[in-house]
Chains A and B, each alone.
Chain A
């Protein structure tokens, strides 16, 4: 309920209840006359014929005014007034004396007893009415004021209860930081007595406290949390999280600062930070170790392939030399054996060559990313394969391919292996290879289609592994070609897959992403 609405309710209640007036006169006729005069005021009129009766009524009721006849038997008006004044409840009640005599002595005594006015008989109704009206209005205002004060006190109690119930230490300050109010959590948090803090500056508690930006207040933004250092009574420092919320009261600009001990939070954060940096350190160590072992492995593979190459090349060359120089002079069995030596030495030589190619492709090397015309890369691959293309009579058709950001030697190797495979694993038909590319949203899908023997679906993943072969010695594969392709394509950020069925030919497809620096890919007719 708003204050205004509350006040209106109070006023209407008072109107309904009316204001009580006490009329005291020993003469019943006078009482009735007074009652008649005051009737139009529509207030509660209570009548007493003796002072004793009047006093009794004063015990039970609050009156806006008492009209008291001076001359009464037993207890006269003045005595009655004296008694009324002695009582707490009626000490302030305005008393109007009714008298027939104008005597200074009477007036002095009356005013001494706290009379507010004298009315002289015979009573003039209009005068009585207007005088009483004043007291009725006065009483009403008083009641209203009392109600307002009670309302205020209630609000204040509510406000303090809220302040006390808050989980944080709450401090209300002026704009400059002077502490007006603080809840009991402030005592506990800062080990200061609250009373001692009132009137001091909040910077005693939080040296870096500042008046919040009033522009932010105007924009109706939620108050921001700020982490600051706070100081206890004993001078020790601890972190706090504060929220400042300014509000403008009619006479002042006040700031409520909620203060929360952030020690646990700060320690938690420090723990997380420590854990994170420990994790990062371990990852870095692990990465370094892996990089090192990768590099060591690569160097080992390279050296091994090199050292194995020399002897096998020599064996091959000398087997051939022997076979050339002794042709026709050895028995047919010996010639056949020499041929087996040659065949196997040649195969080992081939394997080592492929292995080196694989190492080069997977190398963490320095090959440059450039704009590569895929037509030229495919052309280079075809020219490298010239011998087997001619021997097999294969046809290789390249559609127009894009220019992409890539590493040229890798792209050549990919095409060379895929086209070479299409020819090597031929069916009874003359090999026909078709190379094409299709633009996708974020890259290109290249396809190398052949009419070869095809691959069973269960081998679709197997074939991309190292030294994986599906065919015996009648096919000349090394089992490394597709592993090279996979490694090269992965280095280019893409992926490779195959679509095939036995005796239905194969389509090897690979996706290469459009690099960030990739320019608008242009088709180059080839």
Chain B
């Protein structure tokens, strides 16, 4: 199976572990580019595609980051044409309707909630990431239950 390349901007390392666990439970082989602050994430998305650096298959952005917001990273990503076809998703415990529509305007494909319940978290986040990867063609259908 192909190893998927996932970009993750997330300041809560506890959540990073949970996301990794969720991906593992989807039996996904993955490589994680993980950034802790908005600035680091912005710098990273600007250079993807240049110098032959590999372009990630998915951008996962926490909404609240130190020094900025997920939408700031989305703006930087939108400026990089190499990332145009890459699905982007916003992660958060919850978003207000206005925050959600702002993220959608900035190019986020979807909002992935972080449920408080562990079982729901692992199930929902994992399922959503798999769905996005399937949609973009980064993985083939054979990993799904169907």
Contact = CB atoms under 8 A, between A and B. Distances in A.
Interface stretch (A36-44, A236-244, A313-321): A313-321
A-side interface size class: 20 to 34
B14 A318 contact: yes
B18 A317 contact: yes
Nearest to A316: B116
Interface stretch (B24-32, B71-79, B117-125): B117-125
A11 B96 CA distance: 103
A310 interface: yes
Contact of A346 (B21, B64, B98, B116): B116
Nearest to A345: B116
Contacts of B116: 312-313, 316-317, 346, 349
Contacts, number: 41
B18 A309 contact: no
Nearest to A363: B96
B143 interface: no
A103 interface: no
Nearest to A307: B64
B119 A313 contact: no
Given A314-B12, A317-B18, A318-B14, A356 B119 contact: no
Which of A306, A313, A349 is packed against the most chain B CB atoms within 10 Å? A313
Given A306-B64, A310-B12, A349-B116, A317 B93 contact: no
A360 interface: yes
Interface in B53-100: 64, 93-94, 96, 98
A298 to B, nearest CB: 11
Contacts of A324: 118
Contacts of A365: 98
Contacts of B15: 314
Interface string A325-366: 000000000000000000000100100010010001000011
Contacts of B18: 317, 321
A314 B121 CA distance: 11
Interface in B8-62: 12, 14-15, 18, 21
Contacts of B14: 314, 317-318
B64 A320 contact: no
A312 to B, nearest CB: 8
Contact of A317 (B94, B96, B118): B118
Interface in A280-318: 302, 306, 309-310, 312-314, 316-318
Nearest to A321: B118
A356 B94 contact: yes
A324 B119 CA distance: 10
B90 to A, nearest CB: 14
Contacts of A314: 12, 14-15
Contacts of A310: 12, 64, 93
A137 B141 CA distance: 140
Contact of B117 (A306, A320, A366): A320
Nearest to A356: B94
Contacts of B114: 313
B119 A309 contact: no
Nearest to A312: B116
Contacts of B12: 310, 314
B117 A309 contact: no
A365 B93 CA distance: 21
B94 A316 contact: no
The 10 closest A-B CB pairs, nearest first, are A320-B118, A314-B14, A317-B118, A349-B116, A313-B116, A309-B93, A316-B116, A321-B118, A313-B93, A317-B121
19 contacts: A302-B96, A310-B12, A313-B114, A314-B12, A314-B15, A316-B117, A316-B118, A317-B14, A317-B18, A317-B116, A318-B118, A320-B118, A321-B18, A346-B116, A349-B116, A353-B94, A356-B94, A365-B98, A366-B98
Given A316-B116, A317-B118, A320-B119, 6 more contacts: A306-B94, A310-B12, A314-B12, A317-B116, A356-B94, A360-B96
